[in-house]
Structure 1
Amino acid sequence: MSSDTLDPANLEAIFKAYDVRGTVPDQLDDELARLTGTAFVLVTGAPTVVVGHDMRPSSPGMAQAFAEGATRAGADVVMIGLASTDQLYFASGHLGHAGVMFTASHNPAQYNGMKMCRAGAQPVGKETGLLEIRDMVALHATTGATMVSDDVTPGTISEQDVLGAYADHLLTLAPVRGRRLKVVVDAGNGMAGLTAPVVFDRIGADQVELVPMYFELDGSFPNHEANPIEPENVADLQKRVLEVGADVGLAFDGDADRCFLVDERGRAVSPSTLTALIAARELAKEPGATVIHNLITSRGVPELVAELGGTAVRSRVGHSFIKATMAETDAIFGGEHSGHFYFRDFWRADSGMLAALHALAALAESDGTLSELLARYERYPASGEINSTVADQAAVLRLLEEQYAGAEGVELDHLDGLTVTHADWWFNVRASNTEPLLRLNAEGKDEATMTEIRDAVLSTIRSN
């Protein structure tokens, strides 16, 4: 008899647009991980799979179960153990194997999940195999259909440590040289607590003084949620930066694929600003290159890219869309306002640590403070992402479209939700894939303009 986790309704719920995510053990357990391992190999045809996992208590067991399922389908498995998600992507690219990372990223302790990729860190999302994997597991669970014939020779499981090679590779892409910096790093008890010490050791104490915060790996997140996009989760870092007189603070999410900055004044830096900084550095390396930005990134990013002679291309929100667009355009870099940063030289994968190294490298090469360095990249006030609980998301989106369609100087598009653009402002409203929420992002030419459009749109959203 199948466990409840294999119920088709549960599988429908936890297989998302570009990963698997749910609560343990009611939505996700070892049995589901084992069957997913088998289905992953059968759908992708991967001869070898790299498996990594984060510090959540359920992660090692699920990773082992997935490996057993993958070997049952004939694939060999390379276990890299505790890892950040970008370390798993590195292993996939460096070794040339498909991969899976067991993590629920920034989600609370009761969650876990799987992020999958083909060789070279190519994403596996709902349009590139994830739904086929789900359906194969569901078919087996509901009908007992055999997934693998008895004459398949099982693969082997081996172990390999790639952490040092990962750190070395990142520092070839963004070497930190120049004046010595004092850097506070808040790992949030997540995987940056493993990767940051190795990376910073290779930079050298003569170049960087590291002030660690919450480096102990603890999937219960005893200090704060490992989700730095929420202001309350960077409050400790902001305080510490001021206390020690640091040049910069870095905050990572639970699986360390996202990074957020705090400047020397203790002020949180917009991910759009960091996107612009990295875009400028990458365009200096390859003039005329293409840079991807998602549709909630500040309009200052495409403006800067154009000023520097590059080509800016707009994308939907989400790593599978960004990576696909990067592949289509051969873009050198891509940035999302959520704190994900993608690099062509890193197999088009996202890496919070590589983004952090770009910021440190730029700061070490400069004579001023971080806030002075970033001033040219901060152009427009933004609302940040504001979530509202809405019973009928589609109805509210239709109402907003009716309100703004035909207004003077206004353009509408539906690349991802509803985006309304004016010369002086823009806003985007998108429905959550997993919750009854609408997400609003707004930006204006000045604070008053941004506040006015933000409040007008929120009034419509929250009165329905």
Structure 2
Amino acid sequence: MTTPSISDTLNKNNDTLTHRPITSFKAYDIRGELGVNLDEDIAYRIGRAFAQILACQKADSEGDESLENSIVIGCDIRDSSETLKQATIRGIVDAGVDVIDLGMTGTEEVYFATSHYNALGGIEVTASHNPINYNGLKLVREGSRPISADSGLAEIQALAEQGSFAASDQLGKVVEKFDKTAYVDHLMSFIDTDKLVPLKIVINSGNGSAGPTVDLLQQRLQQKNAPIEIIKVHHTPDGSFPNGIPNPMILANRDSTKQAVIDNKADLGIAFDGDFDRCFLFDAQGEFVEGSYVVGMLAQAFLQKHPGAAIVYDPRVLYNTEALIAEGDGEAVISKSGHSFIKQVMRESGAVYGGEMSAHHYFRDFFYCDSGMIPWLLTIELLSTTGKSLGQLVNERISAYPSSGEINFKLTQASSDEIISAIEDYFSTQNPDKNTLDGLSLDFGQWRFNIRASNTEPLIRLNIETKGDEALLTEKTAQIKQWLATQGAKLA
């Protein structure tokens, strides 16, 4: 007996699906546990709702008539991703919208293709660094603009839950466009290969989706006679993740990259998460470089190319970044953390670059989107043009502005709002400068901290930094950790 397709289950009279709550919608994207709050039916509903809403917007009098009636879609290497992608495609097609299937991709490839093909929007099926029993969808609208809870995601969720889909006169078409040439061309446009000097680099793709793109970039560098040697670690895409979920934020996951750098006497180590929208760097000693110092380094590099340009950064750790922007006569523009906020602020300010300490890096000339490939290309160019090692570029900055790194806590008693209010009261007698752009930031002159609730996990996140005082950093980190423990906050 043939099992009916999802689209066959539609009520033929009013083209609706039974109402079903969908709890996998988050602040910026859709993520859920397979078989719990994410499955093929949900993926179908999301694809259909997304396509219907975008098509309706295009049909409005103010819509961009130059847009193609298509949505691009790709997926990462997870075993569940292709199935979810196909279910999403069925939803888009049933809405009467065409599909450009990119195959196995990283998220940034969807960002690129959405603008390159002038599509209505784009979808990447990915769970990035989440556990293997999770998956999700990242959505963008025309021009690779982000969609978040307050800019369209809630509307998509409501329609997907209600299932009150409009009937379409005809089904959309599906075309496959797996060729990555235009995307790789665009990545290579960010650097001058003639300036590159001999470098040996380790790239750890974590058995995620990065491997094919790394191969293509390596080929392009070789064609340009660039003297870059690449040592590949955990390179082959494998949805079973035999070497663990690709998440370099987990300390144990850094060991393979570190050891490969040391064993091969490499100049630089690079690691990615599963959908390679984040880039993590290791110096020639295999030491992990905290993301906030990479933001400062890239800001400095862009200001050398674009004097006076605006640079966007988040408020979690900012002393070093602000100092480097000032030294480069740039315009410092602070933004709430989170990709939708950073991208919007970059568009408003015309910023050439934006960075978050979480290893997300955004580029004006990449449609104001984040890329995990562009940062390492810029880094090898920077090492080449300065004649300095990565350690030389960042270690002085680490000494000048030491930071704790992000410390995560699980709350067992008070809520995040209660914790933030209480810690403000605790330090109120010291009269710090206060900023509430993103959680709570208190600045005491020689040191500061930011504490905020996670947008994606049930955690509260703490960052502390000082102006050149490692002992003060140790003291204040211990003080706040101890205080948080009295409030029932446990290290995550």
TM tier, shorter chain? Answer: over 0.9
Residues 3-45 of structure 1: CA deviation (Å, up to 9, x unaligned): xx9742xx2x311111000111221111111111111012223
Structure 2 residue 185 is the aligned partner of structure 1 residue 163:
no
SS in 2 for 1:123: coil
Query: What TM-score, normalized by structure 1, do the two folds share?
Result: 0.94
Equivalent in the alignment of 2:371: 351
Q: Provide the C-alpha distance between the structure 1 equivalents of 2:314 and 2:112, rounded to a whole number of angstroms.
A: 23
Structure 2 residue 65 is the aligned partner of structure 1 residue 44:
no
Equivalent in the alignment of 2:346: 326
Equivalent in the alignment of 1:152: 169
Unmatched tracts of structure 2, length 5 or more: 1-8, 11-17, 59-68, 488-492
Equivalent in the alignment of 2:307: 287
Structure 2 residue 208 is the aligned partner of structure 1 residue 190:
yes
> How do 1:99-114 and structure 2 match up within 5 A?
99-114=122-137
- Aligned partner of 2:106 among 84, 91, 94: 84
What amino acid maps onto 2:73 in structure 1?
A: V
What amino acid maps onto 1:351 in structure 2?
A: S
Q: Provide the C-alpha distance between the structure 2 equivalents of 1:354 and 1:119, rounded to a whole number of angstroms.
A: 22
Verify the 8 A CA contact 1:189 1:215 in the aligned structure 2: yes
> How do 1:417-456 and structure 2 match up within 5 A?
417-445=439-467, 446-456=469-479
Equivalent in the alignment of 1:172: 189
> How do 1:176-255 and structure 2 match up within 5 A?
176=193, 177-204=195-222, 206-255=226-275
Residues 118-161 of structure 1: CA deviation (Å, up to 9, x unaligned): 12210111111101000111112xxxxx3022x53221110112
Moved more, 440-449 or 78-87: 440-449
- Aligned partner of 1:382 among 379, 388, 403: 403
1:203 positional shift: 1.0
Equivalent in the alignment of 2:150: 127
SS in 1 for 2:333: strand
Q: Provide the C-alpha distance between the structure 1 equivalents of 2:158 and 2:449, rounded to a whole number of angstroms.
A: 37
Equivalent in the alignment of 1:68: 90
Q: Provide the C-alpha distance between the structure 2 equivalents of 1:332 and 1:434, rounded to a whole number of angstroms.
A: 27
Residues 250-292 of structure 1: CA deviation (Å, up to 9, x unaligned): 0111100100110111111121221112112211222111100
Equivalent in the alignment of 1:256: 276
Q: Provide the C-alpha distance between the structure 1 equivalents of 2:457 and 2:361, rounded to a whole number of angstroms.
A: 25
Q: Provide the C-alpha distance between the structure 2 equivalents of 1:188 and 1:256, rounded to a whole number of angstroms.
A: 10
Verify the 8 A CA contact 1:185 1:250 in the aligned structure 2: yes
What amino acid maps onto 2:259 in structure 1?
A: K
Q: Provide the C-alpha distance between the structure 1 equivalents of 2:300 and 2:125, rounded to a whole number of angstroms.
A: 33
Verify the 8 A CA contact 1:43 1:129 in the aligned structure 2: no
Verify the 8 A CA contact 2:27 2:456 in the aligned structure 1: no
Query: What TM-score, normalized by structure 2, do the two folds share?
Result: 0.89
What amino acid maps onto 2:151 in structure 1?
A: T
Structure 2 residue 396 is the aligned partner of structure 1 residue 373:
no
1:418 positional shift: 1.2
- Aligned partner of 1:95 among 117, 120, 135: 117
Q: Provide the C-alpha distance between the structure 2 equivalents of 1:368 and 1:415, rounded to a whole number of angstroms.
A: 36
1:430 positional shift: 1.0
SS in 2 for 1:128: helix
Q: Provide the C-alpha distance between the structure 1 equivalents of 2:444 and 2:180, rounded to a whole number of angstroms.
A: 47
C-alpha change, 1:162 and 1:350, in structure 2 (3 Å) is farther
**Aligned residue pairs: how many?**
453
Verify the 8 A CA contact 1:52 1:79 in the aligned structure 2: yes
User: Taking every aligned residue pair, what percent have the same amino acid on both sides?
Assistant: 38
Residues 365-395 of structure 1: CA deviation (Å, up to 9, x unaligned): 2323221233454331111111111132222
What amino acid maps onto 2:430 in structure 1?
A: A
What amino acid maps onto 2:438 in structure 1?
A: D
Unmatched tracts of structure 1, length 5 or more: 141-145
Verify the 8 A CA contact 2:197 2:226 in the aligned structure 1: no
Moved more, 340-349 or 398-407: 398-407
1:414 positional shift: 1.4
- Aligned partner of 1:300 among 286, 296, 320: 320
Q: Provide the C-alpha distance between the structure 2 equivalents of 1:255 and 1:130, rounded to a whole number of angstroms.
A: 21
Equivalent in the alignment of 2:42: 32
Q: Provide the C-alpha distance between the structure 1 equivalents of 2:46 and 2:387, rounded to a whole number of angstroms.
A: 52
C-alpha change, 1:18 and 1:6, in structure 2 (3 Å) is farther
Verify the 8 A CA contact 1:54 1:191 in the aligned structure 2: yes
Structure 2 residue 441 is the aligned partner of structure 1 residue 405:
no
Residues 395-454 of structure 1: CA deviation (Å, up to 9, x unaligned): 22111011122414x112211111111211111111123443211111112211111121
What amino acid maps onto 1:23 in structure 2?
A: E
SS in 1 for 2:424: helix
C-alpha change, 1:6 and 1:334, in structure 2 (3 Å) is farther
Verify the 8 A CA contact 1:182 1:211 in the aligned structure 2: yes
Q: Provide the C-alpha distance between the structure 2 equivalents of 1:366 and 1:207, rounded to a whole number of angstroms.
A: 16
Q: Provide the C-alpha distance between the structure 1 equivalents of 2:343 and 2:486, rounded to a whole number of angstroms.
A: 37
- Aligned partner of 1:270 among 290, 299, 306: 290
Verify the 8 A CA contact 1:363 1:370 in the aligned structure 2: yes
**Root-mean-square deviation over aligned CA pairs:** 1.8
What amino acid maps onto 2:455 in structure 1?
A: N
- Aligned partner of 2:24 among 1, 7, 14: 14
SS in 2 for 1:359: helix
Verify the 8 A CA contact 1:253 1:259 in the aligned structure 2: yes
Q: Provide the C-alpha distance between the structure 1 equivalents of 2:317 and 2:72, rounded to a whole number of angstroms.
A: 33
- Aligned partner of 1:117 among 140, 143, 156: 140
Verify the 8 A CA contact 2:208 2:275 in the aligned structure 1: yes
4+ residue runs over 4 A deviation: none
What amino acid maps onto 2:133 in structure 1?
A: Q
